[in-house]
């Protein structure tokens, strides 16, 4: 839509409020609203002012004034507000220089797409994330000087088979058997359908929805692939809709990677491919039906995987999921069809147009704009430097003996290790000014000071079971 189209769309839908959405450095959507009478064609040039110092990871208080510039291509009606509300995703601009803000994640995504075109390698990078999530019925947590606990619950939780529910009707998926029982074991079919229809209402094409492996309400909804920045927008809408539809049904949803002990965590496998002039560049006659260019792209992903983890698996909780010997694909190898590899080549369709790779170690706690941009930059580094990904590994990696497994590298074992890897290996991200040194330094400092250290300083409940009698 053009600005004129947006104004017409607003009148046709009798909008009363304009809502402006953007996200902080770490991936949480923010917003503020103004009366629709404040929106005019000039708004798409002049923007709206706000305080950037109140946003995590952004401006100092002495440089807090910033502008949001609405992107007319993102205009939709918000599906959850009581009054008709036109909403747009915005770009962040310095009010004095009128330059785009280096710590605006959407700006990073757009710069990554521009860099791709500037290389001449391709003109479009398609991304298709499979973001898993849990829908719970109750969540409580606290952490104080003298206590710490969390409690989650689900009507589906296998741990509730013996609970008095007046009546307890059973049909609670067994651990690791939530993929794909029909209702009544899958109690969330209608909730997910509501989510799907709401997503489609705001223009997100959906391919499938289903229950996921874990007990206790693990789900997945698959969006159709889209160009990088557009998919970043879609992922933000995806999370917003999942959480608000769950709330509408009296439930709560989380994209936390590992909220349950003893069952599968939530990953976000990311399908990706490069195209030029409407033709895929990933199809060929090499291994798995890939082109040599696609293999080099994989080489870049694998070489920079440890650094990528600081962005695509960016929480301390991410590494409760990424544990060797369990369900997560921690091994840095590639393979066709093999889900135990960190990079998989899906083999569902013989069509060259369907040829893509799937990076399996990211999780949905990440900032999608930054995660997609970082993976693209790693893949492009692989192409530009012809990085050989080595031999594919078609064995079940989980079944390998210690000697064989010792030859397969793995992702970092903690957020601390991942941040150190990013600190040591980030030159590939700086090309084309896609990521800036300022952004990366802020990312590293914030993660260490506000996440790693606070978690490291606190005893956890299980330590009392292990050590109280020592």
**Which residues have a catalytic role annotated?**
51, 130, 132, 212, 220, 269, 339, 358, 360
SS3 of 124, please? strand
Please, where are the H alpha helices in 202-345? Answer: 228-248, 292-303, 305-312, 318-321
Contacts of 167 (CB under 8 A, 6+ apart): none
Give the side-chain half-sphere CA count within 13 A for 152. Answer: 20
Contact between 328 and 336 (Cβ < 8 Å): no
48-51 and 29-35 beta bridge pairing? unpaired
Look up residue 253 and give its two tokens. Answer: 């949803």
Phi, psi of 168 (to 5 degrees): -85, 120
Q: Does a cis peptide bond (omega within 30 degrees of 0) precede residue 167?
A: yes
Contact between 266 and 133 (Cβ < 8 Å): yes
Can you tell me the distance from the alpha carbon of 152 to that of 347, in angstroms, rounded to the nearest whole number?
37
Contacts of 45 (CB under 8 A, 6+ apart): 69
Q: Residue 22: in which H helix or E strand, if any?
A: strand 17-23
Contact between 1 and 72 (Cβ < 8 Å): yes
Contact between 381 and 304 (Cβ < 8 Å): yes
- Nearest Cα neighbor of 341 from 397, 257, 267, 260 is 397
Can you tell me the distance from the alpha carbon of 7 to that of 23, in angstroms, rounded to the nearest whole number?
24
Which residue in this structure is represented by tokens 């064989």? 404
Q: Does a cis peptide bond (omega within 30 degrees of 0) precede residue 341?
A: no
């Amino acid at each position: 839509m053009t600005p004129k189209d947006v104004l017409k769309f607003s009148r046709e839908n009798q909008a009363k409020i304009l809502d402006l959405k953007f996200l902080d450095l770490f991936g949480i959507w923010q917003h503020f609203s103004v009366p629709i009478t404040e929106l005019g064609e000039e708004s798409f040039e002049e923007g709206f002012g706000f305080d950037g110092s109140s946003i995590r990871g952004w401006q100092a208080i002495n440089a807090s004034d910033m502008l949001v510039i609405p992107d007319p291509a993102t205009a939709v009606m918000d599906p959850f507000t009581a009054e008709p509300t036109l909403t747009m995703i915005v770009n962040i601009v310095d009010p004095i220089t009128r330059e785009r803000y280096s710590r605006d994640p959407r700006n990073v995504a757009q710069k990554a797409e521009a860099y791709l075109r500037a290389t001449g390698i391709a003109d479009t990078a398609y991304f298709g994330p499979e973001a898993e999530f849990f829908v719970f019925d109750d969540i409580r947590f606290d952490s104080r000087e003298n206590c710490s606990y969390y409690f989650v619950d689900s009507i589906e939780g296998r741990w509730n088979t013996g609970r008095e529910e007046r009546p307890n009707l059973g049909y609670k998926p067994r651990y690791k058997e939530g993929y794909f029982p029909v209702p009544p074991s899958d109690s969330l079919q209608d909730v997910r359908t509501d989510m799907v229809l709401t997503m489609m209402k705001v223009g997100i094409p959906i391919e499938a929805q289903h229950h996921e492996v874990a007990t206790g309400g693990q789900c997945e909804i698959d969006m159709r692939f889209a160009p990088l920045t557009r998919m970043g927008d879609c992922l933000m809408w995806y999370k917003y809709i999942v959480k608000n539809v769950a709330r509408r049904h009296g439930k709560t949803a989380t994209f936390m990677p590992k909220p349950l002990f003893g069952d599968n965590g939530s990953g976000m496998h990311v399908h990706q491919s490069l195209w030029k002039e409407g033709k895929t560049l990933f199809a060929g006659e090499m291994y798995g039906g890939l082109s040599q260019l696609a293999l080099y792209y994989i080489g870049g992903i694998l070489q920079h995987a440890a650094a990528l983890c600081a962005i695509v698996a960016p929480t301390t909780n991410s590494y409760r999921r990424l544990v060797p010997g369990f369900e997560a694909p921690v091994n840095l190898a590639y393979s066709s069809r093999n889900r135990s590899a960190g990079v998989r080549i899906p083999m569902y369709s013989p069509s060259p147009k369907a040829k893509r790779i799937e990076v399996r170690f990211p999780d949905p706690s990440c900032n999608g704009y930054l995660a997609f941009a970082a993976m693209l930059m790693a893949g492009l580094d692989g192409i530009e430097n012809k990085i050989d990904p080595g031999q594919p590994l078609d064995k079940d990696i989980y079944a390998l003996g210690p000697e064989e497994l010792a030859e397969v590298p793995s992702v970092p074992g903690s957020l601390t290790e991942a941040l150190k890897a990013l600190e040591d290996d980030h030159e590939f991200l700086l090309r084309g000014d896609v990521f800036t040194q300022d952004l990366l330094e802020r990312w590293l400092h914030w993660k260490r000071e506000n996440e790693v250290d606070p978690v490291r300083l606190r005893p956890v409940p299980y330590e009392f079971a292990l050590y109280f009698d020592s």
